[in-house]
Structure 1
């Protein structure tokens, strides 16, 4: 009888490491076993007690193990107990009862054996693991899994992925466990996953509602190997910034992986086939923490439109491009080693890229882009046209050369835009490497861009003039674009100089622009005519320092504008301000105008001479702190009159709400204001 009890013990042991439980026994007749070794696990401190009265049809078996170790499977348990009513008929023995490890919840373990076979079943709720072993094949154990909580496999998965945590889902299938004396433990067979959820403590890797049906072949030894071949049937997966929304599609997968000791995983064979959307194959290597160490990938998409929702939302969302529309097809080859891109090859086939927010779009993208850190390669990318923040540009070609870890233009690229030409020269693109992100360096030459077309595209007043400028170098890095040099704009007979130009998140959420702007000798008659702001003649100088726009709306600046009497005399321009301009200026600046003549005589004149005009606004926190030429009692002078009648415009409100000021400017441009006399 003791041999049969020991077989019960070993049968329980064989199944226990797969489900986070262990077994032992006890009886009135007692046996103590210091250590029991099997191919699967080792038991220590085993006690068996059997209470079976001579006249009883069955006995009570109690088993206890102080410790159970299954190192190949990653399981270790302490204080494991099992109690069951033991019965026999001929050579057949049966025992079924609760088993518990430490303070864990109880499961039900049932053993049924005879001289030629051993059957065991461990269950809890709807989940169960059934085991069968034949005496003629003692090294082979067959296991049937039925709705087994995936959390039961936590310790086994931790052998290859220590950070992985399972929170939901079930396993099903039939597995063969082979445990020969002189060879590694091997587990193989079909496996089914339903509704599986997992993650890591830092949240960089996660899965939700994952379903799969695969064939598994795994061996545990000095080198752990895993082979998977089957299909995913849906779910959501996250790997860093890569988010995969598989929905209910059937995706064929194939993987061969191996791990030596505590090193990371090497995967010499990978295949992913999402029909009509993405086919990829190659190899990869992961560090012990599951971060990507190396990747050699070849991928093709025959339809880029569904690729966005299925595979690119993580990347695009991080860049503020979650709604980007893609059309066409593309091939990609990518080789990464040590976190650095060493080779890349991108081939678009009539690709169209459209940002619904109007930041950019490209049409007819063709050609190819080749990049290498080890050899000189040439390629050329072309497009038929597109838009950048609403500004249309024409067809262009980018002839590339690669080498020394960067992609560069072989010759200047000329881009038709706004009736003029934008020339890009030079252009250097350096992919992420050595802990640094993407870097792009380029120079720009703007030649005679039409300000009228620019104004129309941006919804500005009908400004006229030409935009010409040279930016010797600009750098895009860490989602920030900094420009060296400046832009020179010929506008309203004067010049506008733009310097210290920089952009944050140029294509992301809430793009931010900062710059300093200085203008000189602007013809006031042309400017006020376009703005619908009455008529002022003369010349104007000014500055907008520390200008900052967020999502193209001003949030801060220090602005000072002033008439330039010397420039007006030099060009023979009289300094006059119309009745309409005075009333518009007074309404916008919360001012009134005064004269040495009686107020009622002011309305008899169409315009007035002025000596100086000056106004400043320091914008911060949606409030404009205003001042003018100097103090005037409780106010500040905006217009200092000259001649007869001598008229002055004085402002009294030094703090003006910015949205209110914009409303007044709009009203002034439509003539919907009335003069204020004092």
Structure 2
């Protein structure tokens, strides 16, 4: 049996008199198809009593069971139907639990119907939208339906309660709202026109997520579902105090976002950040719980897995991470980039910027898009910790190809206060000036590599930093790698900073393979040595001995050494190879007694010997902290 949009196979109808003067009816359908609803090969069973009233209307009531429908639709329902030939009307009432469905249709045009739905489970509509998993919520609606050959059209108003559904890399959950829709389904294609006000609940797509407010967010959309693909040809969003958006999106057959075009985005902070930006910034850059202010506009074109165009303009922007990692004030201006085309030059400036404990002064920069790069038109000077960072060149590629750098730069540093710089890293304040040049900085993937190096003029000597690399710079646990060479540092000035006692002479050394995670050392191979001789105080001698868990050997008993305030030395050498939380200790030379840390000169002639070849790094740090705090060392 066939009607427009409906096909029934293996139909069996039994009619028989009953004792009350009516007719007992049994209907069984082996396979029912309603393609527009995504219903295929459903089973149907109906039992009821057919009667006729004084107005010559036929009545049928009884249990109805469908098998195989999405969401167990009408799996245990009751049907009440009335046929009024004089009024040319068929009316159906279906009930299952709290769900009520009323339908009215003319007998001479059964392809047209009016529906009233109450508490309809959204899961029952799973076939319309390609059986999306996780369908939840309830629907109330007043709808008009027209069925043609393989096509169903419906239009009307609706109310949603707790809508939820999932797709690959995305989901919606707990959404309420109301609106008007037009739906056309058939031949494997569903077209949807929607105007609605949605509130509460959450939406997520990949790293992006939204928290809908209690007041309605007005949404207008034109959507198409076909061959497993979903397309939003038009999307308008209006959240009055937070966001205005116009654009389009498309998903592939695997449910992955394939195209996103935003023609206009206007945002007011902090409301837009809290509702629509927080999750993305936290997932992408590790920036969570920001304090924000200001307004900005944006447009972008993202397709084929890559960004093709991006334009942003801001005014009075302020961003501050409550953890103190990022603080930007007075950010304003614009950036305009295109993957292929030339774009007009723009200006971007800030009044203050702080990243972790590094403070940058005000700056204004001018940018231009060319050949996929967004580059500085002229060098810029950024005030930094009493000195300047000279940005000779900088080019950013928002959409790099495989192996291409995301960012390249040429930098120079002059007059930077090393004390402020070391304090920002949580180190003791080193007096001196930091300077140097980085002829080539490259940011590829999640790693920043710096060719050239930095030269620190400190303690009347130099510390040269080479092979510098920074990974995950904006993540919660940045990782820094470098090699350091120490040349000619004045030990008297050096030891005065750490307050470990007095040592004179000049210090040289190398720290190879230094690796800091979240600015804490986790690996290095360090060898520090003073080969020119000098003087060492009693307190410095004790602290140096404690570092190696060692002892002092000489011609006098240790108690007698207390009579001397200073001692001469010929050489000092100390090595630490840190790996897996353990420091392998060494010195100038090794023998059966241990390793020599200090070789004395003159009388009394001393030799400091280290006995502990493996020291837990936390233990060594505590010894260093105790020495720097002026406490008496304890050797165990």
The two structures have a TM-score, normalised by structure 1, of 0.88
Alignment equivalent of 1:101, drawn from 38, 55, 66? 66
Alignment equivalent of 1:169, drawn from 133, 137, 140? 137
Flag the 1:220–1:612 CA change in 2: closer, same or farther, 3 A: same
Alignment equivalent of 1:429, drawn from 388, 393, 396? 396
Query: Is residue 139 from structure 1 mapped to residue 104 from structure 2 by the alignment?
Result: no
Q: Which residue in 1 is equivalent to 2:328?
A: 362
Does the CA-based 8 Å contact 2:362-2:382 persist in structure 1?
yes
- Following TM superposition, by how much is the alpha carbon of 1:167 offset from its aligned partner in structure 2, in angstroms? 4.0
Query: Is residue 62 from structure 1 mapped to residue 62 from structure 2 by the alignment?
Result: no
Does the CA-based 8 Å contact 1:521-1:564 persist in structure 2?
no
Q: Which residue in 1 is equivalent to 2:2?
A: 37
Does the CA-based 8 Å contact 1:58-1:87 persist in structure 2?
yes
Deviations 1:111-163 (A, max 9, x none): 111211111122210012111112365432011110011111111121xxx5x
TM alignment of 1:410-449, pairs within 5 A:
410-432=377-399, 439-449=406-416
Q: Which residue in 2 is equivalent to 1:11?
A: none
Flag the 1:555–1:526 CA change in 2: closer, same or farther, 3 A: same
Query: Is residue 635 from structure 1 mapped to residue 594 from structure 2 by the alignment?
Result: yes
**SS at structure 2 position matched to 1:316:** helix
Structure 2: where are the runs of 5+ without partners?
none
Q: Which residue in 2 is equivalent to 1:276?
A: 241
- Following TM superposition, by how much is the alpha carbon of 1:401 offset from its aligned partner in structure 2, in angstroms? 0.7
> CA–CA distance in 1 between the matches of 2:82 and 2:542?
103
Q: Which residue in 1 is equivalent to 2:96?
A: 124
**SS at structure 2 position matched to 1:601:** helix
Query: Is residue 477 from structure 1 mapped to residue 436 from structure 2 by the alignment?
Result: no
> CA–CA distance in 2 between the matches of 1:40 and 1:598?
106
Does the CA-based 8 Å contact 1:431-1:437 persist in structure 2?
no
- Following TM superposition, by how much is the alpha carbon of 1:279 offset from its aligned partner in structure 2, in angstroms? 0.7
Alignment equivalent of 2:258, drawn from 293, 298, 302? 293
Q: Which residue in 1 is equivalent to 2:224?
A: 258
**What's the C-alpha RMSD, in Å, of the aligned pairs?**
2.3
- Following TM superposition, by how much is the alpha carbon of 1:271 offset from its aligned partner in structure 2, in angstroms? 0.7
Deviations 1:169-193 (A, max 9, x none): 1011111111246x94211101111
Query: Is residue 81 from structure 1 mapped to residue 40 from structure 2 by the alignment?
Result: no
Deviations 1:634-655 (A, max 9, x none): 3211101111110111111222
- Following TM superposition, by how much is the alpha carbon of 1:433 offset from its aligned partner in structure 2, in angstroms? 5.9
Does the CA-based 8 Å contact 1:471-1:483 persist in structure 2?
yes
- Following TM superposition, by how much is the alpha carbon of 1:544 offset from its aligned partner in structure 2, in angstroms? 1.4
Flag the 1:96–1:166 CA change in 2: closer, same or farther, 3 A: farther
> CA–CA distance in 1 between the matches of 2:15 and 2:417?
99
Q: Which residue in 2 is equivalent to 1:303?
A: 268
Deviations 1:335-394 (A, max 9, x none): 223233222211111101112222232211111111112422211111112212212211
Q: Which residue in 1 is equivalent to 2:35?
A: 71
- Following TM superposition, by how much is the alpha carbon of 1:308 offset from its aligned partner in structure 2, in angstroms? 2.2
**SS at structure 1 position matched to 2:288:** coil
- Following TM superposition, by how much is the alpha carbon of 1:210 offset from its aligned partner in structure 2, in angstroms? 0.9
Query: Is residue 601 from structure 1 mapped to residue 560 from structure 2 by the alignment?
Result: yes
Does the CA-based 8 Å contact 2:37-2:125 persist in structure 1?
no
> CA–CA distance in 2 between the matches of 1:43 and 1:257?
30
Deviations 1:549-573 (A, max 9, x none): 11111111111111132xxxxxxxx
TM alignment of 1:571-650, pairs within 5 A:
575-650=534-609
Query: Is residue 338 from structure 1 mapped to residue 310 from structure 2 by the alignment?
Result: no
Does the CA-based 8 Å contact 1:60-1:84 persist in structure 2?
yes
Does the CA-based 8 Å contact 1:276-1:303 persist in structure 2?
yes
The two structures have a TM-score, normalised by structure 2, of 0.93
Deviations 1:499-550 (A, max 9, x none): 2222221111111111111111111111111111211111111111111111
Moved more, 352-361 or 42-51: 352-361
Flag the 1:459–1:220 CA change in 2: closer, same or farther, 3 A: closer
Query: Is residue 492 from structure 1 mapped to residue 451 from structure 2 by the alignment?
Result: no
- Following TM superposition, by how much is the alpha carbon of 1:485 offset from its aligned partner in structure 2, in angstroms? 2.0
- Following TM superposition, by how much is the alpha carbon of 1:601 offset from its aligned partner in structure 2, in angstroms? 3.1
Does the CA-based 8 Å contact 1:276-1:301 persist in structure 2?
no
Deviations 1:567-598 (A, max 9, x none): xxxxxxx6111112111212233222121134
Flag the 1:433–1:113 CA change in 2: closer, same or farther, 3 A: farther
**SS at structure 2 position matched to 1:307:** helix
Q: Which residue in 2 is equivalent to 1:402?
A: 369
> CA–CA distance in 1 between the matches of 2:467 and 2:217?
51
Query: Is residue 664 from structure 1 mapped to residue 623 from structure 2 by the alignment?
Result: yes
Deviations 1:180-230 (A, max 9, x none): 46x942111011110122213x4x111111112121101124664210012
Does the CA-based 8 Å contact 2:552-2:558 persist in structure 1?
no
> CA–CA distance in 1 between the matches of 2:212 and 2:403?
31
Does the CA-based 8 Å contact 1:426-1:443 persist in structure 2?
yes
> CA–CA distance in 2 between the matches of 1:564 and 1:189?
90
Equivalenced residues, count? 625
> CA–CA distance in 2 between the matches of 1:331 and 1:477?
28
TM alignment of 1:458-537, pairs within 5 A:
458-537=425-504
- Following TM superposition, by how much is the alpha carbon of 1:497 offset from its aligned partner in structure 2, in angstroms? 1.4
> CA–CA distance in 1 between the matches of 2:236 and 2:402?
29
> CA–CA distance in 2 between the matches of 1:136 and 1:231?
37
**SS at structure 1 position matched to 2:241:** coil
Does the CA-based 8 Å contact 1:586-1:675 persist in structure 2?
no
Query: Is residue 316 from structure 1 mapped to residue 281 from structure 2 by the alignment?
Result: yes
Flag the 1:114–1:422 CA change in 2: closer, same or farther, 3 A: same
> CA–CA distance in 2 between the matches of 1:438 and 1:73?
50
Moved more, 437-446 or 519-528: 437-446
Does the CA-based 8 Å contact 1:383-1:397 persist in structure 2?
yes
> CA–CA distance in 2 between the matches of 1:599 and 1:177?
102
Does the CA-based 8 Å contact 1:584-1:668 persist in structure 2?
yes
**SS at structure 1 position matched to 2:545:** helix
TM alignment of 1:541-552, pairs within 5 A:
541-552=508-519
Alignment equivalent of 2:173, drawn from 205, 208, 230? 208
